[in-house]
Structure 1
Amino acid sequence: MRSRQEWRQARVIDIAHPTEDVRAVTFAVNGPLSAFDPGSHTNIRVMIHDAPAIRTYTVLPSAPGTLKIAVKLHPNSRGGSAWVWSLNPGDVTEMTTPENRFELSWRASHYLLIAGGIGVTPIFGMAPALISGGQSVRMIYGGRSQAQLAFRDELETLLGDDLELFVEEEGRSFDLDAEFSRLPLDAESYVCGPIGLLNASKAAWQRAGRPMSRLRFEVFGDSGHYGESAFWVEIPALRKTVEVRPDQSMLEALLQSGVDMVYDCQRGECGLCAVGVLDHEATIDHRDVFFSPTERAQNVRMCACVSRAPGGTISIDTGYQSAPL
């Protein structure tokens, strides 16, 4: 189960490096391409270990007829970032026309944008859209070092004093409680970054007594706790055992093995792909933002699209009780 996708052939026409470990790739896309809102994403057909796969990336503002992405070369990558870093001008692939599940509401009196690391990509499109629309906006942006803050110069030029940078090597980190406490009552905050930042933002937003409908976030599915390694999934109801390779998600492995699954966002947000955990010998690495911290600690359900059980075996119930495949 997924949203309707329209695939287009795409050719690499430009490569740039906003930072040493971030690569921006611009594609010319065949056929008419409608304007897209900030926060939109595209799916890209990639090759990982000579096998086809699909990865999802935010699309950045770019010229008409083009789609631009920025990808960090991540040490825990399942192969997508390495593939993007292997591209050269003239290389051809396929991409979907953009869709948006992280759109601006345009209903608030003030917007607080929060970006952590490469989570800046959707926020980078939101900031100029809000400024050009005459909206009140502040942005806080954090990273490990000044050199790793992609698009910092462009954002400083655009936002001036309404941008504040927080760099770990300088001992500076977000004070989310203080940030949220001084927002107007009808303000909204948009957050993208590591799962730790998203969970901290949700907790601070709740402590501030603010409605959750006014906190929007997007996930890129890495907890940072583990490197990627293979694991095995047993489905007793289907009498199947499926290997999940380091370069694929549990959801991908189950689908490729013929296991029926319900899913949608593939980012750990909607919960549709959640499976019941019957038993596990490995520590479950929960990477979703759908379940509460209490629910994740109970280890009775996990989101198949992002969460993992590195190096071990887990037994699950997918919810389907049909005859064995």
Structure 2
Amino acid sequence: MRFQDNWSPATLVSTRDLAPGIREFTLRPDDYPCAPYALGSHIKVGVLVGGQPDVRSYSLVGEAEPQGYRIAVRLAEDSRGGSRYLWSLQRGAHLDVTSPTSLLQVDWQRPQYCLVAGGIGITPLLGVAQALTRKGADVSLHYAVRSRREAAYVEELAALLGNRLTVYAADEQQRLDLGRLFNGLSSGATVLFCGPMRMLDAARSAWSACGRAPTDLSYETFGSSGRLASEPFKVRLRGSGEEIVVPRDRSMLDVLNAAGHEIMADCRRGECGVCTVDVVDIAGEIDHRDVFFSEAQKHENRKLCACVSRAHGVVTIDTLERADAL
């Protein structure tokens, strides 16, 4: 497996509100301090949802600090319960966390770095901006938010980057034109992106239209984001015809496993493809929320990542024919 989870108990040592609906949590594992973690790292946090244990993944904010791990959590309106649980905790609360893991690759030899964040996607990029600035790199950050009052860490970023930070506030009719931005980059420039799925789709499309190499666009997204609102849907199993309802606050992966169908999984972020299941039929629409499959594969609707993707209606799947996805 790509991910080896090393869990340890931790204490919530502090919280602070960054913006309306966004709260920062500082978690100190019992075995802290630990070695500095890679840029763009995330940790998994044990939560309780409906009284049952569950796991959520959060990007670490900034570079390693002696106080502990910092995460910023948006209290999502369509939350599956993880953000509500964390927001209910008080200082001194105990919970379990994993060691940091990073999938965001930073090539330190590039002539120019362009960081692009959408909303809470700023969290993994703050540490990247800190490290690149310290190294004297040519770096800029483009930050798209619904409003300036919801722009977490904007003061810290402004002090760090000065006029190399550009904030695009939707309520001020400011729009981030990704095509124009990418066309203006120098040859050999690289983009590091983190934001919701729709914004990632737009970024990949604009990047390709500019004739840039796909490997020069690195990205992370949050698996809870999708094109469609989360709502209950049905999963029908080919062969048995059994139908299972997936509530709006649980993943298909967790519901299938709870029903005894043993779907393998690894990252639980829609990145590794281990939890892929075959789609036999769809009466409705699939909301692919992964970054594992290409746009063409998603359009075919032949497979989906059970850890993050959802549906509207009824999706018929086969959990057995999965060897080619592993």
Task: Tell me the SS of whatever aligns to 1:234.
Answer: strand
Stretch deviating more after TM superposition (93-102 or 300-309): 300-309
CA contact (8 A) 1:77 1:247 kept: yes
Residue 138 of structure 2: aligned partner: 136
Deviation string 1:45-102 (CA, Å, 9 cap, x unpaired) is 0001101100000112353261111000111111111111111001100000111111
Residue 278 of structure 2: aligned partner: 276
Deviation string 1:123-152 (CA, Å, 9 cap, x unpaired) is 111100111122110110010101010000
Residues 1:91 and 2:99 are matched in the alignment: no
Residue 10 of structure 1: aligned partner: 10
- In the TM superposition, residue 10 of structure 1 has moved relative to its aligned partner by 0.6
Residue 260 of structure 2: aligned partner: 258
Deviation string 1:209-232 (CA, Å, 9 cap, x unpaired) is 111111001010244543322222
Task: Tell me the SS of whatever aligns to 1:89.
Answer: coil
Residues matched between the structures, number: 321
> Could you tell me the percent identity over the aligned residues?
36
- In the TM superposition, residue 264 of structure 1 has moved relative to its aligned partner by 2.9
CA contact (8 A) 2:13 2:26 kept: yes
Normalized against structure 2, the TM-score is what?
0.92
Task: Tell me the SS of whatever aligns to 2:268.
Answer: coil
Please list, as runs of the form range in 1=range in 2, the aligned pairs for 1:142-221 lying within 5 A after superposition: 142-221=144-223
Stretch deviating more after TM superposition (278-287 or 157-166): 278-287
Paired with 2:278 and 2:108, the residues of 1 have a C-alpha distance of 38
Deviation string 1:291-317 (CA, Å, 9 cap, x unpaired) is 33343233222221211113x321101
Paired with 1:319 and 1:173, the residues of 2 have a C-alpha distance of 45
Change (3 A) 1:140 1:250: same
Could you tell me which runs of 5 or more consecutive residues in structure 1 were left unpaired when the two chains were aligned: none
Paired with 1:87 and 1:194, the residues of 2 have a C-alpha distance of 26
CA contact (8 A) 1:41 1:59 kept: yes
Paired with 1:210 and 1:78, the residues of 2 have a C-alpha distance of 37
Residues 1:112 and 2:114 are matched in the alignment: yes
CA contact (8 A) 2:238 2:280 kept: no
Paired with 1:191 and 1:264, the residues of 2 have a C-alpha distance of 23
Residue 244 of structure 1: aligned partner: 246
Residue 297 of structure 1: aligned partner: 299
Residue 101 of structure 1: aligned partner: 103
Deviation string 1:171-196 (CA, Å, 9 cap, x unpaired) is 11111112111222211100001111
Paired with 1:63 and 1:272, the residues of 2 have a C-alpha distance of 33
Paired with 2:180 and 2:279, the residues of 1 have a C-alpha distance of 38
Residue 22 of structure 1: aligned partner: 22
Calculate the aligned-residue CA RMSD, in Å: 2.0
Could you tell me which runs of 5 or more consecutive residues in structure 2 were left unpaired when the two chains were aligned: none
Counterpart residue identity of residue 319, structure 1: L
Out of 113, 121, 124, the residue aligned to residue 123 of structure 2 is 121
Paired with 2:209 and 2:200, the residues of 1 have a C-alpha distance of 14
Counterpart residue identity of residue 176, structure 1: L
CA contact (8 A) 2:277 2:321 kept: no
Stretch deviating more after TM superposition (290-299 or 246-255): 290-299
CA contact (8 A) 2:26 2:67 kept: no
Residue 79 of structure 2: aligned partner: 77
Paired with 2:267 and 2:192, the residues of 1 have a C-alpha distance of 18
- In the TM superposition, residue 12 of structure 1 has moved relative to its aligned partner by 0.8
Change (3 A) 1:321 1:130: closer
- In the TM superposition, residue 200 of structure 1 has moved relative to its aligned partner by 0.8
Paired with 1:285 and 1:14, the residues of 2 have a C-alpha distance of 36
CA contact (8 A) 1:37 1:103 kept: no
Residue 41 of structure 2: aligned partner: 40
Residue 286 of structure 1: aligned partner: 288
Task: Tell me the SS of whatever aligns to 1:205.
Answer: helix
- In the TM superposition, residue 240 of structure 1 has moved relative to its aligned partner by 4.2
Paired with 1:276 and 1:320, the residues of 2 have a C-alpha distance of 7
Residue 236 of structure 2: aligned partner: 234
Counterpart residue identity of residue 294, structure 2: S
Residue 64 of structure 1: aligned partner: 66
